A and B are shown apart, each in its own frame.
Chain A
């Protein structure tokens, strides 16, 4: 179930370390952002979201940071586990019709 693009960025981390996955979004008018996780052979799974009126939001082991000045989004995963190995996509919502624009994705590999 490959879901990667031809030049998919790859991040390799040691189990237990923290991971940071970055995403540059395209439209300054976007007002909602989501991170999805896609494991091999499965559909994208919602992880965490953030509205444009926030710059940080925390979930369980995950934190999303939003920097609107430079149109940058990041996903931080604490104490990365082998089960976190997947492709991670950021998505932005332009707010007009509810369309999500997906990034190309980053492949996270966790070494035991």
Chain B
């Protein structure tokens, strides 16, 4: 099992640029979660999907953030335009019908 796959692993961009983070959940999992982790705020849930449908996006910081899940095997988190305060590690996690979420390796985003 390849686990949750995220790309890129590292992203460095300049303020104002668009950033797209990608996630492939574990095959057969029907829920997908996007988290952001920073030293100041720890691990924060941004949004999650059940069966490709967004259920709760109350954690999305502002309109600059958007997430999509066009099919069961792919999701994107987009930041447009990016700002230095968006610098963080972004994790994707997936879950089957149980409760346990399985995390990907994360994308470390640096916005200059």
Contacts and interface: CB of A to CB of B under 8 A. Distances in A.
Interface of A: 1-6, 32, 34, 36, 42-46, 49, 89, 93, 97-100, 102, 104-105
A97 B55 contact: yes
A2 B87 CA distance: 13
Contact of B99 (A43, A93, A102): A93
A12 B42 CA distance: 21
A102 B43 contact: yes
26 contacts: A1-B108, A3-B37, A3-B89, A5-B39, A5-B42, A6-B39, A32-B99, A34-B99, A34-B100, A34-B101, A36-B103, A42-B105, A42-B106, A43-B91, A43-B104, A43-B105, A44-B91, A44-B103, A45-B103, A46-B100, A46-B102, A98-B50, A99-B45, A99-B48, A99-B56, A104-B42
Given A5-B41, A44-B91, A98-B50, 18 more contacts: A3-B37, A3-B39, A3-B43, A6-B40, A32-B99, A36-B103, A42-B105, A42-B106, A43-B4, A44-B43, A44-B103, A46-B100, A89-B43, A97-B48, A97-B50, A99-B48, A99-B56, A105-B43
The listed residue with most B CB atoms (<10 A of its CB), out of A42, A43, A97, A102, is A43
B interface, size bucket? 20 to 34
A97 B42 contact: no
A43 B108 contact: no
Contacts of B37: 3
Given A44-B91, A98-B31, A49 B100 contact: yes
Interface of B: 4, 31, 37, 39-43, 45, 48, 50, 55-56, 89, 91, 93, 95, 99-106, 108
B89 to A, nearest CB: 7
8 nearest A-B residue pairs (beta carbon): A43-B103, A102-B43, A44-B103, A32-B99, A5-B42, A104-B42, A43-B106, A43-B105
Given A34-B100, A44-B91, A99-B48, A2 B39 contact: yes
Nearest to A91: B101
B103 A100 contact: no
